[in-house]
Copies of this chain bind each other. A is one copy, B any other.
Amino acid sequence: MARVGLTAERLARAGAELADEVGFDQVTVSALARRFDVKVASLYSHVKSSQDLRTRIALLALEEMADRGAAALAGRAGKDALAALANVYRDYAREHPGRYAAARLRLDPEAAAASAGGRHAHMTRAILRGYDLTEPDQTHAVRLLGSVFHGYVSLELGGGFDHSAPDSEETWTRILDALDALLRSWPAA
């Protein structure tokens, strides 16, 4: 009875890979067991449920994205920082569509609190230090940026911009320009 060395950690990582290969909603306990060449029931010693597995993958993805974001923001400010963080999200989503989908999973409050969600919000606020916004406008802007990043990436990943000109790359650049301009002259209430 050879021991493979399963842990919740390894399962989450393998689940993340699986998600990128076959899509997040195709990640099942069964598929993961097959990948480790192990019986399904064995996984339940490490993971509470299918939902628990998904949550772990989501937390992993959020953490990875936050790490990349932090690295990208280091030493940058203003529009430079804006573009850097935006590209982190977009590139991550294109490299790891399954993980990105996982990161969009609705977490229960407890998991959300333990997640890297706070780091993400913090990074967006850091960007806004390069612009002249005070509360509550800063929060409005944080939410706008979050919406655009997530919305664009999600539509692009869904193939929404595939078959029409101009190409997505150009639009992305121009949207970042537009956001920069908007933040520099944010309209008063």
Interface residues of chain A, those whose CB is within 8 Å of chain B, are 25, 104, 106, 136-137, 139-140, 143-144, 146-152, 154-155, 158-161, 164-166, 170-171, 174-175, 177-178, 181-182, 185-187, 189
Note all chain B residues with C-beta closer than 8 A to A154.
Answer: 104, 147, 150-151, 154
CB pair A151–B160 under 8 Å, yes or no, is no
Contact of A170 among B136, B158, B164 (CB under 8 A): B136
Q: How far is the CB of A89 from chain B (nearest CB, A)?
A: 11
Q: Tell me, in angstroms, the Cα distance from A144 to B168 when the chains sit together.
A: 11
Contact of A182 among B25, B140, B160, B181 (CB under 8 A): B181
Q: Tell me, in angstroms, the Cα distance from A175 to B149 when the chains sit together.
A: 14
Contact of A143 among B106, B161, B186 (CB under 8 A): B161
CB pair B106–A175 under 8 Å, yes or no, is no
CB pair A165–B139 under 8 Å, yes or no, is yes
Q: Tell me, in angstroms, the Cα distance from A147 to B146 when the chains sit together.
A: 10
Note all chain B residues with C-beta closer than 8 A to A170.
Answer: 136, 140
